[in-house]
Chain A
Amino acid sequence: MAGSNEINANEAKKVVPLHTWILISNFKLAYNMLRRPDGTFNRELAEFLDRKVAANTVPVDGVYSFDVVDRATSLLNRIYRCSPPENEFSRQPGAGILELEKPLSTTEIVPVIIFFHGGSFTHSSANSAIYDTFCRRLTGLIKGVVVSVNYRRSPEHRYPCAYEDGWEALKWVHSRSWLLSGKDPKVHVYLAGDSSGGNIAHHVAVRAAESGVEVLGNILLHPLFGGEERKESESKLDGKYFVRVQDRDWYWRAFLPEGEDRDHPACNIFGPRGINLEGVKFPKSLVVVAGLDLVQDWQLAYVEGLENAGQDVKLLFLKKATIGFYFLPNNEHFYTLMEEIKSFVSS
């Protein structure tokens, strides 16, 4: 049961910087207004409140972005790229457009990360300010390309829409001639996501493995998993660090097919209805767990499940991190994470 409000506020304030506390609390309270008890969602107000930013082809801090609509699916992908230094000052007419013809490199390997934003399958968009900022940082970090997918959200679009959109995005990325790199040109694809985005990355990777489509690695930032059972972390941390179990339950009810429970394989990966990943050519995984996230026991179970299936998985456990620690570069967990991601995509 959630503790008294004052105690919880003080708990969270002790471990996160002021800015982070303000940002995440703001989301928490806004989201409380958007979830209706009957399971519907106030989408109008959500879109109104969500701070969005336009793509910007003018490089800022060495990164520029543009949006592409996949005409087949009407899905929007926001592409982030590093601006090569020489273009910053030369005025080549059509230089930006030419870059869409040529591969990223014919000699070097340039990683392409397909990023699925978080929001418990319900909130945010590829052009949400927090995710645009995060993707820009990621792009500069890996010196590659980030493709942020604007997947369809629940409750308007339940399982499996988000996974299908993720799969379409993967195929789309693999078929872009201008994302090729390396001497034997191919698109060097990684999947990444935070919260529900991490969940989506997992499922897209499974489908990719089953279909023989290559994914070089998965980066899951406190991915959203769950199950019917109540894990210890859920009871212990309920309401303490911005998140309540009852909220998590609402989002699962909004995402899973009506009438389903949390042991559905979308949610409980290695649970009673989970598939067996032994022998599957699954990409290596970097799973980041925030030690103050009530979902952690499910994330740790996921890591264990991957290990038991003989898969390559690295766990990054950040003991004092709360959810959303990576939105602002004002804490050590952020920098630790960035270092890990950088070495993950260059090894």
Chain B
Amino acid sequence: MGPYDSSISAPAGSSSTSSSACSSSTKPRQPPDQMDHLLAGAGYKVRSNDLHQVAERLEHLETAMVKSSPVEISELGHDAVHYNPTDLASWVDSLLTELNTNPPAAVGVPTDLPDLHPFPADINMYSNNPPPLHGEFSQQVVTPLEEDVSIRLVHVLMTCAEAVQRGDLSLASLLIDDLQALLGRVNSVCGIGKVGSFFVDALSRRIVNSSQNGVVQDDLSAYENEMLYHHYYEACPYLKFAHFTANQAILEAFDGQDCVHVIDFNLMQGLQWPALIQALALRPGGPPLLRLTGIGPPSPDGRDSLREIGLKLAELARSVNVRFAFRGVAASRLEDVKPWMLQVSPKEAVAVNSIMQLHKLLGPGQPIDVVLDWIHDLNPKIVMVVEQESNHNQSVFLDRFTEALYYYSTMFDSLDACTAQPVKSLAELYIQREICNVVCCEGSARVERHELLATWRDRLTNAGFAPLHLGSNAFKQARMLLTLFSAEGYSVEENEGCLTLGWHSRPLIAASAWQAVPEPSATMGQINHP
């Protein structure tokens, strides 16, 4: 171990110490955004220059708590909504406010931008789960069952993927034969056997088709798509969590608004919206006028499936006395949607709802930038983004393959544990299509370009959005939702204002909320200290 960390500062006036560091008064002033490394290792982001103020605030908080009864203090745990505990300074301040103490001028929170908690642009994170860098060696540990066969299966899968990456297709084909043989010996009802077979299938498609122009997945009919989606929705909590969390946040964002407009980037069967309509109906002060614009693929053979869903939702709204208007926007790809199609009126509060759609815009040409731009221009009260929490967009095939193997194994494990749905084959087929797209496809055909929450944060921040933190109330209710599932093992976690749902300790889905920051003005860039 080396000498003491240089960020040690002895409290002024103390007789300590064995510390070899200088006291705080002589420490060179750090750049304002410098986050303290020691506390970062404990999961907290505190600016180095704010340490003394945070300490002072903690003392104030303790004094305030000492004056309260134990009952009052535990009520603080109940009634107060907590946000983003990583930002320790703000958390302490919010509690001081709850206890009606007047804190001195807020630390680190810009007072001229209410409700926004912008992140400093570059944060020097201390060993805190960095996402794998491009090309960096990543050991994926897929824990095998206790049989040698499943260990071999994973090993050969990786070797085969590596051969594919190298272009050695004849070796890869031989390995596919090996893999089929191994699959025959492994328990294919659960665990690595099940997901392994999907990966073997995907690899073999890739090999067979690579001499042609790459794999293009067969399009399913709209009906088939919807059926798979519906089974996936029922079999595991991921979509329900997404809808539930999004609706919570949208409801809060629409507080006090009389005209609201939700833009759903993928209407599907509109499963998300009955709950929101009902919640709006029960809102104190009465429901607003609700407009819903649902985007979806055009329906063949003369059906207008978007309109059909719209009619059903309208009927529900009518039955609970919510004034409702629906509009369908048919587009095969999200990038084909133009903002004028949405007919947003300046008087309404807009919510943009994207459940696992934005990643489709990360393909060639990066249409994401254009789309984020026009979303920003709609001046939405909230942009809800839910995405798969994994990096399946790496350009190095082997990295992508490895990451996907790990991610989907975990997802299948979680699916296995849900006993409510005995027959899961259609839900598995839904997931299989995702796997196939990640593994087999390239270019514009590869639409499942999932990226990590940290990457989305950067992207959205750079596009002019600021986070709207999801708080302890949303967290608590998400956890309650999970208790409806018999499977123990699902976990909701708070991640700097976002919520993730995962299996055991591995997050699989991340939900975050955003609002548009006004166009650059004098206030931006001056957000460090008042």
Contact = CB atoms under 8 A, between A and B. Distances in A.
B43 A328 contact: no
Nearest to A21: B55
7 contacts: A18-B9, A18-B11, A26-B44, A66-B143, A91-B137, A96-B139, A327-B42
Interface in B1-58: 1, 4-5, 7-11, 14-19, 24, 36, 38-39, 41-44, 46, 51-52, 54-55, 58
Given A5-B62, A58-B138, A67-B504, A51 B42 contact: yes
A13 B58 CA distance: 12
A68 interface: yes
Contacts of B10: 17-18
Nearest to B9: A18
Given A14-B11, A19-B51, A42-B74, A133 B127 contact: yes
Interface stretch (A28-36, A224-232, A253-261, A286-294): A28-36
B138 A94 contact: no
A332 interface: yes
A61 interface: yes
Contacts of A98: 155
Contacts of B63: 5-6
A88 B137 CA distance: 7
B47 to A, nearest CB: 12
Contacts of A48: 82, 85, 472, 475-476, 494
A127 B139 contact: no
B55 A331 contact: no
A98 B16 CA distance: 50
Contact of A18 (B24, B141, B398): B24
A23 interface: yes
Interface in A33-71: 33-37, 42, 44-45, 47-49, 51-61, 64, 66-69
B472 A97 contact: no
B189 to A, nearest CB: 14
B387 to A, nearest CB: 16
Nearest to A44: B476
B494 to A, nearest CB: 5
Contacts of B479: 44, 47
Given A19-B51, A37-B71, A76-B505, A97 B398 contact: no
Given A13-B11, A47-B479, A48-B475, A100 B41 contact: no
Contacts of B140: 57, 96-97
A150 B505 CA distance: 10
A283 B298 CA distance: 71
B481 interface: no
Interface residues of B, number: 84
Given A44-B479, A51-B42, A129-B41, A100 B74 contact: no
A37 B74 contact: yes
Contact of B43 (A25, A129, A331): A129
Nearest to A35: B74
A51 B59 contact: no
Contacts of A26: 44, 58, 88, 92
Interface in B460-512: 472, 475-476, 479, 488-489, 492-494, 504-507
Nearest to B58: A25
Nearest to A33: B77
A310 interface: no
A279 B370 CA distance: 76
Contacts of B283: none
A180 to B, nearest CB: 15
Contacts of B413: 69
A136 B141 CA distance: 17
Contacts of B161: 93
Interface residues of A, number: 78
The 4 closest A-B pairs by CB, nearest first: A51-B43, A96-B139, A129-B43, A33-B77
B158 A93 contact: yes
Contacts of A100: 141, 143-144, 151
A105 interface: no
Nearest to B74: A36
A194 to B, nearest CB: 14
A101 interface: yes
Query: Which one of B58, B398, B476 has the greatest number of beta carbons of chain A within 10 Å?
Result: B58
A338 B475 CA distance: 37
A169 to B, nearest CB: 15
Interface of A: 5-6, 9, 13-15, 17-19, 21-23, 25-26, 28-29, 32-37, 42, 44-45, 47-49, 51-61, 64, 66-69, 74, 76, 78, 83, 87-91, 93-101, 126-130, 133, 136, 150, 327-332, 335, 338
B343 interface: no
B142 A130 contact: no
Contact of B66 (A5, A37, A59): A5
A23 B129 CA distance: 20
Nearest to B156: A94
B51 A57 contact: no
A51 B62 contact: no
A99 B92 CA distance: 45
A130 B43 CA distance: 7
Query: Which one of A9, A14, A29, A127 has the greatest number of beta carbons of chain B within 10 Å?
Result: A29
B155 A19 contact: no
A29 B58 contact: yes
Contacts of A130: 41-43
Interface in B340-380: none
B38 A60 contact: no
B205 to A, nearest CB: 20
A15 to B, nearest CB: 7
A18 B11 CA distance: 6
Given A25-B62, A37-B71, A48-B475, A97 B43 contact: no
Interface in B74-101: 74, 76-78, 82, 85-86, 88, 92, 95
Nearest to B40: A129
Contacts of A45: 77-78, 82, 472, 476
Contact of A97 (B4, B148, B151, B488): B151
A9 B55 CA distance: 10
Contacts of B5: 329-330
B302 interface: no
A32 B73 contact: yes
B488 A32 contact: no
Nearest to B503: A69
Given A87-B139, A93-B162, A51 B505 contact: no
A329 B1 contact: yes
A140 B80 CA distance: 41
Nearest to A23: B42
Nearest to B127: A60
A53 B66 contact: no
Contact of A136 (B24, B92, B127): B127
Nearest to B77: A33
Contact of B506 (A14, A35, A54, A59): A54
B445 interface: no
Nearest to B492: A47
B112 interface: no
B65 interface: yes
A203 B82 CA distance: 37
B267 interface: no
Contacts of B41: 129-130, 133, 328
Query: Which one of B14, B41, B63, B130 has the greatest number of beta carbons of chain A within 10 Å?
Result: B41
Given A34-B74, A332-B18, 17 more contacts: A9-B62, A22-B46, A29-B61, A29-B95, A33-B73, A36-B77, A44-B475, A49-B494, A51-B85, A53-B128, A55-B506, A67-B506, A97-B144, A97-B151, A133-B42, A330-B4, A330-B5
B248 interface: no
B300 interface: no
